[in-house]
Each structure stands twice: as C-alpha cells, then as structure tokens.
Chain A
C-alpha cells in the first residue's frame, strides 16, 4: 500500500531513461479496459444476449450518432445545452467568486454573510426544484437558476478558503515593500488564492452538468436532455445512449479545459513544472 502511494508521487517525474516502447505501453494501458468492455458489449449484442431494447450495440449507437450529427439535429442540441451550461456557470461562478472574495477579504462581510450562505449551502439544490418550477416556470431562466445554484457553492467556498489561507508572511513582506492595498491584492492575495479557486472551478464543472441534466430532463424543448427524454418516449435506446455519452464527453472536455487553465495559471507551482 505504501509502495503504491509512493509510486503515484513518483509518476510526476518523467524518467528520461524510459524507452519509446515503455512510454507507448504506459499511454495505451489506460484504454485497455474500456476497449475490452466495448468488444464484450458488441459481442453480447451480436449474440442476442443483450436485447437492443435494453442496450443497443456499440455499432448501432455509432450509427445513430452519425445519423444525428449528419442531420445537424445533434449539434443544435449540443449547442443549446452548452450555452445553458456556460451561462449558468458564468452567473453562478461569477457570483460565487465575487462573494468569496468579499467574505474572504473583509471580516465584516464574513460575519455578515457567511452564516447565511452556509445555511443555504446545506440545502440540497435539487430539493428546490418544485419551488424553482413555481418561480420560474419551466423555461430557460429555471435552467439557468439551477445551474448557477449548483456551481455557486464550490466556487464560493474555495475562493473564501483560498483567500483565508494566503501566506501571512508574504502579505507582511508585501506591506514592507510599500504595496498599496490594490497592488497587494493583485500581486499577493489573488495569485495566492488561485490554486484553491481553480479547485472550486473543477468541482463546480461537475455540478454544472449534473444540474443541467436534471433541468433538461424535467422539461425542455431542446438540448441534450430533451433529446434523450424524447428518445425514451419513442423507445430509441440508441439515441438515449448517444445523449448520455455526449454528457460524458462534454464533462471530460470541461475537465480538460480547467486542467489546462490550471497548468497555465499555476505554471509557477512545482507540481506543474517539468523537472530539469
């Protein structure tokens, strides 16, 4: 067990002595299990062990994916869902960042707001759905609200925590160098809080999709959720699986994006640096 933990840390260090074959094996290995599952799945469908009513074969799914994207229907839904997700993320994330910066930086704001926000946080966001439908009906604003609510708290909490845990020694140093409050904020506090804020962003991206799926499943006239629910009504299991896989793909894309941001913004951090 201990060895395993150690080997996970050592993985960050690229070993120049590794041969090309070893590197290829290392790259290919993670895909071995998914590939095997896919083959077993296709075989089971082909043999009729897995009825298409429950789960269509990978080949059928691929076929319907190609059909849907050729007709352009798929991309319309993807676009609608992405716009919903991102605008909800912008609103909720922006508010979370703003309030996190406020309560993290000013004691009075923390005293005034933090208790309230922590109480709201403990309500499961999905428990609000009946109320949300009552307030916003079932149109776009309801979906925006749900997504924004989902992404708000991870970003709020991590921003607050990031600012609170900025190295006091660096703050003191900045002050002795005569940095103005704004310069201190820009040069020391914000970059110091950034690693934690980005952790919040990654968490919230996960919530973003969850909330969107729920919102689109309840009621929608477009979007991936609508496509999936519509397909259920017509027993088009292949389209349903395409929709589910799209969520997985978009989720992975969002995660890659946030990882890229981390790699760029935290390039000073030893964990993101190539060893010399």
Chain B
C-alpha cells in the first residue's frame, strides 16, 4: 500500500532523460462537435505539447468529456482535425480512463489488466499492478475491491499498454477525499517517471492545479482560459501561490454564471486590481 507513496521523493529530482519520453503532442484544429441538436465544441483549437500534463476544467456539459472522447475516437468531430504526434515506435497508443473503472466483473484483476493482450503480458501486468500497489490482489474479482482500488486497476490496465497519451475523464470524481489524494500522487508519479502526455478532465480546480502543467477552462465550446502552472512539484496545497492560482481559475469559472451587467463590472474590477 505504501510502496507507491514512498517513491514520491523522486519528484524533486530532475526529470528522466528526453530519450525515455514517450509522450506525443496533440493538435486539435477547428474541431466542432454536435451531439444531436446541441453544439458542444465550436471551432475548438488547442495544441498540447508532448509529455505535457494538461487539465481541463469547466462546468458540467461544457464539452470536456466530449473532447476526450473525440481524441480517443469515441466521438467523431463534424469538422476539424485531431492529430497526434508520431512516436519512435509507430502509432501512438492512446488510453482513456473513465469516472467508473469499467472493469469486466467476470474477469479476475490480472485478466482485466491484460485485456486484449496475450498471456505473455502477465509478468508485465503483475509489475504494473505492483506499481499501483495491488500486487496481492491480482487473483481477486473486481467485486471484492473498493472503488479506489478498482480505479487503480483501471489505471494499471491503461499503463500496461505503455500509452503515449493518457486521457483521464474525471477518474477520481467518485472517490473519497483521502483516496483521491493518494490517487493524485500515484498518477503524478507515474506520469513523471514515464513521460507520457496526460489530458485530465476534472471538476476540481484544486486537483487541476495540483497535477497539471497547464489548466484549460472550456466555456461555450471554446478555451476561455489557458493558465500555465509553474509551481514546483510536488505541490503543496497550503502554498500562497497555489491558493492565488486556484482563486483566479475559480473566479473565472464562476464568472460565467453572473448576469451580463455584473459580469462587465466584475471584469472591470479585476482589471483594475
């Protein structure tokens, strides 16, 4: 259990050499997606650098999840293109993790982790399970695991494929506060060591600032805020700069709710500040 927390020390050391970086860049150009009658994304543009950890925040229904789903190919944009950078070893592997673990209840943990892979992947899967602190649960059924453990299995299942791009669709949304912090540290560590690109969709601004190099706010189908977070890792939530950043992003998220009038004065106030 504590094995994966112990490796947190490593974060303060310099990042692994560029050669081991597996991340790919993502360019999303002029993408428009409509689900039924509703336009979710409109002429959406964003460039994500290789190895970058990007968090996307926004209100429910702003199109965050749709964006992730379109990157992995579950939604098809009506217009525009989504291109992934190339990797040294052929096509980039893209994995997505959902809010629910989506483990197959009729497969044991190890068989879930090696879904779609042959028996030869079992040793690797066991290694990855150890990395997420679940080495001893390999032969359990998913029904016997807690919500947090199931999400760690889902993470392991994605990691076995050695992805170049990991898409996280609120994977921690349903977890309790403590498990959530543990998972955040785990994800940060693994990302730091492996160097893939991460796009994390979250409701939680603090989570976004804890983990991401860059926080995007989506509103009305567009990026309305693109904030680089240059705080040193690991990030302490009590930090004054952390609090200031969080406040700024939150203010911007909440602003949209206000009426046009107050909206204008508030923006004016902020500018004079």
Contacts and interface: CB of A to CB of B under 8 A. Distances in A.
Interface of A: 169-170, 172-179, 183, 187-188, 191-192, 194, 266-270, 273, 276
B1 interface: no
Main secondary structure of the interface of A (DSSP, over half): helix
18 contacts: A169-B100, A172-B102, A174-B115, A175-B74, A177-B157, A187-B104, A187-B107, A187-B115, A191-B106, A194-B106, A267-B141, A268-B141, A268-B142, A269-B143, A270-B143, A273-B141, A273-B143, A276-B144
A80 B194 CA distance: 67
A179 B116 contact: yes
B96 A176 contact: yes
Contacts of A270: 143
A26 B106 CA distance: 32
A276 B137 CA distance: 14
Given A177-B116, A270-B143, A172 B74 contact: yes
Chief secondary structure at chain B's binding surface: loop
Contact of A269 (B74, B105, B108): B105
Given A178-B116, A183-B116, A187-B104, A273 B144 contact: yes
A176 B144 contact: no
A266 B102 CA distance: 18
A173 B116 contact: no
A113 to B, nearest CB: 28
B72 interface: yes
A127 B102 CA distance: 47
Nearest to B93: A178
A166 B60 CA distance: 26
Nearest to B116: A177
B74 A176 contact: yes
A170 B102 CA distance: 6
A13 to B, nearest CB: 14
B98 interface: yes
A153 to B, nearest CB: 26
A170 B101 CA distance: 9
Given A169-B98, A191-B106, A273-B141, 6 more contacts: A178-B116, A179-B115, A183-B116, A187-B104, A187-B107, A191-B104
Contacts of A183: 116
B120 to A, nearest CB: 17
B72 A176 contact: yes
